[in-house]
Structure 1
Amino acid sequence: MTQEMDLDAVIRLRIRGLRLARGWSLDSLAARCSLSASTLSRIETGHRRIALDQLVPISRALDTTLDALVEPVGDDDVVIRPEAGHTPGLTTWILASETALHGKTVAKMRITPERPGGPAMLGVHPGRDWFTVLSGTARLELGERTILVHAGEVAEFSTMVPHAIVAHGGPVEILSIFNHDGGIAHLHAPEHAPGGAAR
């Protein structure tokens, strides 16, 4: 099957999927885009070649754009190949961009005991932080409290409380979701600033 035929099949599936998601029959969509139900049926089933002058009214009726309807299919929008960022005691992989998650950033972090903790590393920023421990044990320094978070456990807390995340008893790997302010504070702060990355 050629790439052109693959895209053609995807467009047909998108039209049918969007129509069904709205609970519309072929007649309902036909009435909205000034095409006959039989023409739409043949388009969806591949018995009729798709023409640009048909796609424009169909995309409008389905409340989508022509670009979205005919966007090529590839792996680039599916597979993320993160590159590791290193600071002393910390390796970070950005797993999703803010644009993909409405202002949030997902990051995997490997923290080793070389990463210092203590009052000098505590920082604050607006919002809330969320992380889950993939392996090892994280020591969450939260204000005057110290909380151990073990593999499989999740921590969520207000980031207006001074905080830092450090390794406890060996390396720890965490998966964290940051809002815009958290992403700037944790992932873009100067390496040696108080409350920098993985604070």
Structure 2
Amino acid sequence: MKQELDLDAVIRQRIRGLRLARGWSLDALAARCYLSPSTLSRIETGHRRIALDQLVPIARALDTTIDHLLEAIDDEDVVIRPEPQHRAGITTWVMSRESTVRGVTVAKMRYTPEHPSSPHHQRVHPGREWFTVLSGTMRLYLGDREMLVETGDAAEFSTMVPHSLGAEGGPAEILTIFDQDGERAHMPTPGPHEAPPAEGERSVSAPEG
């Protein structure tokens, strides 16, 4: 019973916290979820029990889901201790869990010059990719463009554009975010050999000349 009460309190805190994070008053959120401000106030303060038919429009108005509002509190696995995964010239540490919101994967990746990167190694796959350089310099080939991304800089692009990424002048580390398509294309699989291209991914050679 205590766990149920604790979760109920957390749901109320989440509703209030998301509302305040958006800079909305009670009136503003109430208008978006078609509840009266007084009803919403009683929900947030615990003076009214939260009904499912109220929780659905509240979650929708806050651009979240009921599952995220009802997610149980679990303090056992707060700290993530990633194991390095190796393939040719790249070491990857996955920094997020499988249940990450919106299906994105956060990873730290260390590139060395042994990893092949050139216009001839460009690939395409569905999705988008974002990374920031933690140390060193990365060379990014994006279609017919070539650019250096220095420490502290970031890059974001559609992975439907042919692309290739590698270290420039020495080892470099990045923090990157993949959506689900990008994760399938870039995350290494266990084993001593480099994984083959993911389903839906193909290599693209640069035009000759």
**TM interval, short-chain normalised:** 0.5 to 0.7
8 A Cα contact 1:121 1:194, kept in partner: no
Matches within 5 A, 1:127-142: 127-142=127-142
Structure 2 spans left out of the alignment, 5+ residues: 20-28, 57-65, 202-209
| Residue of structure 2 in register with 1:74 after alignment | 75
Across the two proteins, how many residue pairs are aligned to each other?
Answer: 173
Distance 1:193 1:94, change over 3 A: same
Structure 1 spans left out of the alignment, 5+ residues: 31-36, 46-53
| Residue of structure 2 in register with 1:125 after alignment | 125
Distance in 2, Cα, partners of 1:16 & 1:106 = 26
Aligned partner letter, 1:191: E
Q: CA deviation at 1:120?
A: 4.2
Q: CA deviation at 1:150?
A: 0.1
- RMSD (Å), alpha carbons: 4.0
Aligned partner letter, 1:71: A
Distance in 1, Cα, partners of 2:37 & 2:127 = 46
Q: Percent identity?
A: 44
8 A Cα contact 2:85 2:188, kept in partner: no
8 A Cα contact 2:87 2:188, kept in partner: no
Tell me the secondary structure at the aligned position of residue 99 of structure 1.
coil
8 A Cα contact 2:105 2:180, kept in partner: yes
Of residues 26, 29, 52, the one that matches 1:60 is: 52
8 A Cα contact 1:85 1:91, kept in partner: yes
Q: CA deviation at 1:153?
A: 0.6
TM-score by length of 1: 0.65
Q: CA deviation at 1:113?
A: 1.1
Matches within 5 A, 1:26-41: 28=39
The structure with the larger Rg is 1
Matches within 5 A, 1:16-55: 18=15, 28=39
8 A Cα contact 2:90 2:110, kept in partner: yes
